[in-house]
């Protein structure tokens, strides 16, 4: 270990990382496991934190509900002491609403006692990412069962256990449907299904709001790292390859190598011929190339990159054929950046120009590494033609961000558009690129304030994971998602949403919203990868208005640890620990 300086706190953090590494799988970096290989997905059971609502507070139809908050073991028994009793009514349904404290991917386990007649009892189980969603089901609501079922009518066994559900949720309502029955409930436990992997990356500063935002972004992506890398654990449970880019950047910053990334990239490649667009969206095939460049620089696995050579060449030649001699792109298929920019064709066109230039630059670099000089030269030539054009961003923050990152407009020009009205007109997906563009303009303090306001706004409403979409205007007169809707407060989940995410269909755990986690690691901790496999890095901290920051960053060679403190004269004092084999390049 090459050490520039070390503190007692550093030793404690390093020891915890070393212990967590023992639980990592031994899969070779960059190579996906076969579908039949042993998975690192585990199941954890835990009891609810709160009972938020009961249909009866008199003690007549619901007795000893607090029993269900106690730790359980999943085992029915003959003792059956002090169980929760739910008695059915003719006039209305007896029901309890539980809060498990945080967003979960999985289902619940119900354990019963001995109730009269020994005949199974009918109940309805409704899952929700918000209280509003858990309390609403059936016709007339915007709640849906697409991608993952969220409400069920099931039979509970006498003196037994049953498990139900595979969705994203925090809240669950249990409703007794048989009006003449007495249900004895011993346990109601959540089943959390997620990858058992350590958080190797970390971020800590004097700003607890930023710390919580970093952790929330990491947890959001962690939940979506299922058999494949999903966009959402309720919806969309699909491999949307464009949406993967922010998720992959977060995975690199938090978990390092994980087989879910190449497994998902390979899936979308194998089901999409090179003459078609991934997910039917031309920009998503561009993101596939950009992700491969980021992944190669992060992991440095040349063998895995070589597996992409044939497909990569065909796809790049297709892109090049759609750039004319004036440097204008003519991409077909569904032209999509993100949902909020969709109604503005001029903004989409400007963003497409920038994104294709970024793709050709990334493709040229990958082809040079792979020894495909012909395709590399073609990509460079087309990129040089595109560089002669500077599209109008049309006052779109999405377009301005991409044009800045592709060097198609001046960074200060892009920053001015993005910062013009604060966190308004941000989006959870392209917000990451807006932050990156602000950093390129040197506006780190402004970017951190955007993070506090925009992503922090979701936390202020009770979020434990970041959402598919959010507007800061939603904060006006808004009720929290972890409280029952009340008169005079806007029910955010059922009221807002657009396009494919209207009302309760809106996903409240969406991996594309995790951008601040990766951004804080690379721009505030300042860890920049300069060579494949992180063999060369730069440490360029930007504390903005922070007093100090510390954290870790995973690489194939081990964990990088840094701590930066702002001195009274404005200078930054840095302590850096690097694994052997990583060269620090001063910039």
| Amino acid 139: pLDDT | 74
Decide which of 457 and 136 is more confident.
457
Rounded to an integer, the average pLDDT of 370-396 is: 97
Structure confidence at residue 14 (pLDDT): 39
| Beta-carbon-side half-sphere exposure of residue 429 (alpha carbons within 13 Å) | 21
| Whole-number pLDDT of residue 39 | 60
Confidence of residue 81 (pLDDT cuts 50, 70, 90): confident
In the chain, the percentage of residues whose pLDDT exceeds 90 is 89
The C-alpha angle with vertex 538 and arms to 536 and 540, in degrees rounded to 5, equals: 170
* Tokens found for residue 332: 């077909």
- Give the tens place of pLDDT for each residue, 323-345: 999 999 999 999 999 999 999 99
Could you give the percent of the chain with pLDDT greater than 70? 93
Q: What is the mean pLDDT of residues 131-153?
A: 90
Q: What is the CATH number of domain 46-195?
A: 2.60.120.260
Tokens 């440095």, residue located: 300
Least confident of 114-118, 223-227, 282-286: 114-118
Q: Which two tokens stand for residue 159?
A: 């003196």
Helix (H, G, I), strand (E, B) or coil at 498: coil
On the CB side of 310, CA atoms within 13 Å amount to 4
Across 47-56, average pLDDT: 97
The length of the chain, given as a count of residues: 587
Say yes or no to pLDDT of 418 above 60: yes
pTM of the model: 0.92
The pLDDT assigned to 141 comes to: 86
Tokens of 24: 């990592």
Q: Judge if the upstream peptide bond of residue 236 is cis by omega within 30 degrees of 0.
A: yes
Residue 100 pLDDT greater than 70, yes or no: yes
> Per-residue pLDDT tens for 23-45?
333 333 444 443 434 568 999 99
Strands 182-195 and 202-205: unpaired
The torsion of the CA quartet 437, 439, 444, 449, rounded to 10 degrees, works out to: 30
Residue 340's alpha-carbon distances to 102, 344, 469, in angstroms, are 28, 9, 9
SS3 272: coil
In whole angstroms, what is the distance from residue 292 CA to residue 519 CA? 19
For range 469-495, the mean pLDDT: 97
- Per domain, the residue ranges of the chain are 46-195
């Amino acid at each position: 270990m090459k050490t520039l300086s070390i503190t007692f706190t550093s030793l404690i953090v390093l020891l915890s990382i070393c212990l967590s590494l023992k639980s990592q799988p031994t899969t070779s970096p960059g190579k996906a496991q076969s579908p039949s290989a042993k998975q690192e997905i585990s199941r954890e059971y835990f009891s609810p934190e709160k009972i938020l609502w009961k249909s009866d507070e008199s003690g007549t139809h619901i007795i000893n509900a607090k029993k269900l908050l106690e730790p359980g073991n999943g085992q029915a028994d003959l003792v059956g002491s002090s169980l929760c009793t739910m008695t059915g009514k003719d006039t209305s349904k007896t029901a309890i609403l539980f809060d498990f404290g945080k967003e979960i991917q999985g289902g619940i386990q119900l354990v019963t006692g001995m109730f009269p007649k020994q005949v199974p009892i009918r109940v309805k189980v409704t899952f929700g990412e918000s209280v509003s969603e858990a309390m609403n089901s059936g016709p007339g609501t915007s709640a849906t069962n697409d991608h993952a079922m969220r409400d069920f009518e099931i039979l509970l066994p006498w003196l037994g256990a049953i498990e139900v559900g595979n969705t994203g949720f925090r809240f669950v309502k249990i409703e007794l449907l048989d009006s003449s029955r007495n249900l004895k409930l011993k346990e109601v436990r959540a089943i959390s299904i997620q990858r058992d992997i350590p958080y190797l990356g970390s971020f800590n500063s004097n700003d607890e709001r930023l710390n919580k935002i970093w952790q929330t972004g990491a947890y959001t992506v962690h939940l979506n790292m299922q058999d494949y890398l999903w966009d959402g654990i309720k919806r969309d449970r699909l491999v949307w390859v464009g949406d993967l880019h922010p998720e992959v950047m977060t995975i690199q910053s938090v978990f390092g190598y994980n087989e879910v990334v190449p497994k998902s990239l390979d899936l979308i490649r194998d089901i999409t011929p090179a003459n078609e667009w991934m997910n039917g969206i031309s920009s998503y095939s561009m993101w596939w190339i950009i992700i491969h460049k980021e992944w190669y620089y992060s992991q440095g696995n040349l063998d895995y990159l070589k597996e992409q050579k044939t497909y990569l060449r065909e796809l790049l030649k297709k892109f090049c054929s759609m750039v004319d001699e004036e440097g204008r792109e003519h991409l077909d298929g569904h032209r999509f950046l993100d949902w909020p920019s969709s109604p503005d064709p001029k903004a989409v066109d400007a963003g497409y120009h920038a994104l294709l230039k970024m793709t050709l630059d990334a493709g040229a670099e990958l082809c040079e590494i792979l020894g495909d000089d012909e395709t590399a030269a073609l990509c460079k030539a087309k990129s040089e033609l595109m560089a002669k054009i500077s599209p109008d961003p049309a006052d779109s923050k999405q377009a301005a961000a991409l044009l800045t990152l592709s060097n198609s407009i001046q960074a200060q020009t892009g920053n001015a558009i993005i910062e013009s009205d604060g966190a308004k007109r941000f989006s959870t997906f392209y917000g990451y690129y807006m932050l990156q563009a602000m950093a390129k303009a040197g506006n780190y303090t402004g970017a951190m304030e955007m993070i506090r306001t925009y992503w922090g706004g979701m936390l202020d409403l009770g979020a434990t994971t970041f959402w598919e979409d959010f507007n800061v205007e939603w904060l006006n007169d808004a009720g929290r998602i972890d409280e029952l809707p009340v008169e005079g407060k806007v029910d955010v989940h059922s009221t807002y949403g657009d396009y494919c995410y209207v009302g309760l269909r809106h996903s409240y755990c969406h991996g594309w919203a995790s951008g601040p986690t990766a951004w804080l690691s690379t721009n505030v901790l300042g860890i920049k990868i300069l060579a494949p496999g992180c063999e060369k890095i730069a440490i360029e901290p930007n504390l903005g208005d922070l007093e100090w920051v510390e954290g870790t960053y995973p690489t194939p060679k081990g964990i990088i640890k840094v701590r930066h403190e702002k001195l009274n004269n404005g200078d930054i004092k840095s302590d850096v620990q690097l694994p052997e084999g990583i060269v620090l390049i001063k910039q």
